């Protein structure tokens, strides 16, 4: 059943992201006192008294967007280079919404920015069955005290109906507001059940300005994320839900991960934390590399973090159109990738241009193929055939006069494939022989783009 979409809109710094986090039940959006922190649209599932809906956070709509460059400082001082893009994103969210929560701030009263946002909302409303659609609920934030709640009546002047006082930070009044929201949606209440996310989660990660958001937009076929040559444009980990060949996919666009010493405290610090968390909850990571710079130490650092989380990987070399090439360029560049990411020699490497669309059609099929390898399970008989053949081909070297004996093994889990191997003494397993056994498993089954875990355990003599 279609879940209604609720958009949070308003001028910068009225508390939209704070309310978004409260409705989502976790800190998904970056919150900061600097106006203009949120830039892209963020989606999350929420529910109230059995009614499920999708809540969408948007960037603050700045009233001076058309006058930037004429000496007037915008409200969104943290995002003044992206004001027009933020405005477009917010308008798209309103256009697609089933209901709108229009946030204002009791501390500052009605501002010219609030009036402009109200005009934008009226522009997108149309009359259906005697009612305006989408319905707009006027929410007055930061009403922590009785004195502040008594100041809300001035907001009737906006002509957006009855104002509802809340404190997004403390939760005061949020329940009453949600009652009104659910009623405006006209959705039948159903018993709420926690549903497991069955989509394949694909995180798009890399250093700043590698083209991650451009790739996301190209995969989605729309301008879902703001794209700019200015590094660090994306700040939140943004989830986008699509279906590809009947397979549900969650694409997670993330902030660029800079070297630790380069990360600024505050918003960028938390953005990088969000990116790291996105890798942790992903199944497959698309490591986007800038073809014009080659594999850098930061690319290797990010790849190492992906491997530490035991996630599957596809290396995506972007901006391939920007290089002068001959018939050997691709093979030479692939060797460059293999040499610098030698600990990921099992991952596929794609050469694309998100700007022109070159080979972008290979990205999702490759990621889904990698996911299939990630969930592969081998029968115990096959695992032991591989182990016996490996020992016959190359017996384990002795250590301190003792020989490693492998008794039997089995696959105990997938995602990633994990094999429990019973031996006489795990201390006798040298890392080179462990790597040798991993290579033998990959000879039998490639496990494309997917790490393999080999766990050695002493056999219980009882």
Buried/exposed 3-32: b ≥16 CB within 10 Å, e otherwise: ebbbbbbbbbbbbbbbbbbbbbeebbbbbe
Identify which of 32-46, 173-187, 338-352 has the greatest average pLDDT: 338-352
Quote the pLDDT of residue 93.
61
CA 229 to chain centre: 20
Instruction: Identify which of 223, 251, 255 has the alpha carbon closest to the alpha carbon of residue 90.
Output: 223
- In the predicted structure, residue 371 carries a pLDDT above the cut 90: yes
Quote the pLDDT of residue 76.
41
pTM recorded for the entire structure: 0.58
Over residues 242-255, the mean pLDDT reads: 85
- In the predicted structure, residue 433 carries a pLDDT above the cut 90: yes
**pLDDT tens for residues 435-460?**
999 999 999 998 999 999 999 999 76
**pLDDT tens for residues 258-291?**
555 443 443 334 445 566 777 888 899 999 999 9
Quote the pLDDT of residue 42.
63
Quote the pLDDT of residue 320.
95
Quote the pLDDT of residue 197.
63
Quote the pLDDT of residue 38.
40
Residues forming beta bridges with residue 187, ordered by sequence position? none
In CATH, what class is 5-185?
A: alpha beta
H or E segment to which residue 217 belongs? helix 212-220
Quote the pLDDT of residue 453.
94
CB atoms within 10 A of CB 438: 18
Please report, rounded to a whole number, the percentage of residues in the chain having pLDDT higher than 90.
41
Spell out the domain ranges in the chain.
5-185, 200-374, 380-458
Say if 5-185 and 200-374 have the same CATH topology. Answer: yes
Angle between helices 267-281 and 297-308 (to 10 degrees): 50
CATH 3.40.50.300, domain 200-374, yes or no: yes
Cβ pair 363, 215 in contact under 8 A: yes
The dotted CATH code for 380-458 is 3.30.300.20
Cα torsion at 425, 426, 431, 435 (round to 10°)? 100
- CA distances for 226 relative to 29, 130, 215, angstroms: 16, 36, 11
**pLDDT tens for residues 50-87?**
888 888 887 766 655 444 444 444 444 343 443 455 45
Quote the pLDDT of residue 222.
60
Q: Give the length of the chain.
A: 462
């Amino acid at each position: 059943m279609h879940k209604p979409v609720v958009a949070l809109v308003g001028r910068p710094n009225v508390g939209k992201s704070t309310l978004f986090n409260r409705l989502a039940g976790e800190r998904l959006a970056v919150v900061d006192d600097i106006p203009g922190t949120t830039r892209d649209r963020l989606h999350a599932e929420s529910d109230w008294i059995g009614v499920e809906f999708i809540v969408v956070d948007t960037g603050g709509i700045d009233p001076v967007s058309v006058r930037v460059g004429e000496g007037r400082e915008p409200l969104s001082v943290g995002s003044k280079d992206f004001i027009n893009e933020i405005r477009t994103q917010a308008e798209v969210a309103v256009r697609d919404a089933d209901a709108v929560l229009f946030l204002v701030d009791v501390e500052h009263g009605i501002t010219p920015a609030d009036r402009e946002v109200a005009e934008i909302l009226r522009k997108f409303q149309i009359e259906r069955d005697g009612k305006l659609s989408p319905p707009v609920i006027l929410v007055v934030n930061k009403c922590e005290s009785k004195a502040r709640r008594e100041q809300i009546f001035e907001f009737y002047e906006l002509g957006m109906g009855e104002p509802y006082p809340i404190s997004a930070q403390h939760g005061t009044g949020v329940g009453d507001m949600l009652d009104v929201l659910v009623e405006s949606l006209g959705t039948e209440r159903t018993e709420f059940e926690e549903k497991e996310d069955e989509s394949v989660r694909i995180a798009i990660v890399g250093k700043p300005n590698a083209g991650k958001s451009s790739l996301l937009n190209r995969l989605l076929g729309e301008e879902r994320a703001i794209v700019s040559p200015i590094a660090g444009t994306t700040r939140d980990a943004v989830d986008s839900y699509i279906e590809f060949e009947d397979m549900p996919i969650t694409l997670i666009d993330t902030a660029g991960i800079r070297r630790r010493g380069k990360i600024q405290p505050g918003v960028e610090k938390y953005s990088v934390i969000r990116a790291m968390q996105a890798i942790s909850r992903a199944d497959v990571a698309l490591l986007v590399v800038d073809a014009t710079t080659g594999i850098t130490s930061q690319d290797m650092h990010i790849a190492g973090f992906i491997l530490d989380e035991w996630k599957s990987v596809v290396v995506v070399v972007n901006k391939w159109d920007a290089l002068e090439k001959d018939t050997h360029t691709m093979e030479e560049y692939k060797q460059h990738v293999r040499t610098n990411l030698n600990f990921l020699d099992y991952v596929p490497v794609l050469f694309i241009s998100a700007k022109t669309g070159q080979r972008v059609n290979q990205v999702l099929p490759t990621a889904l193929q990698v996911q299939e390898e990630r969930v592969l399970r081998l029968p115990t008989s096959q695992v032991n055939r591989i182990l016996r053949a490996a020992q016959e081909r190359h017996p384990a070297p002795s250590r301190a006069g003792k020989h490693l004996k492998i008794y039997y093994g089995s696959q105990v889990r997938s995602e990633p494939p994990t094999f429990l191997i019973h031996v006489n003494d795990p201390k006798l397993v040298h890392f080179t022989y462990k790597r040798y056994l991993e290579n033998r498993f990959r000879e039998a089954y490639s496990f494309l783009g997917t790490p393999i875990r080999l766990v050695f355990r002493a056999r219980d003599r009882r």
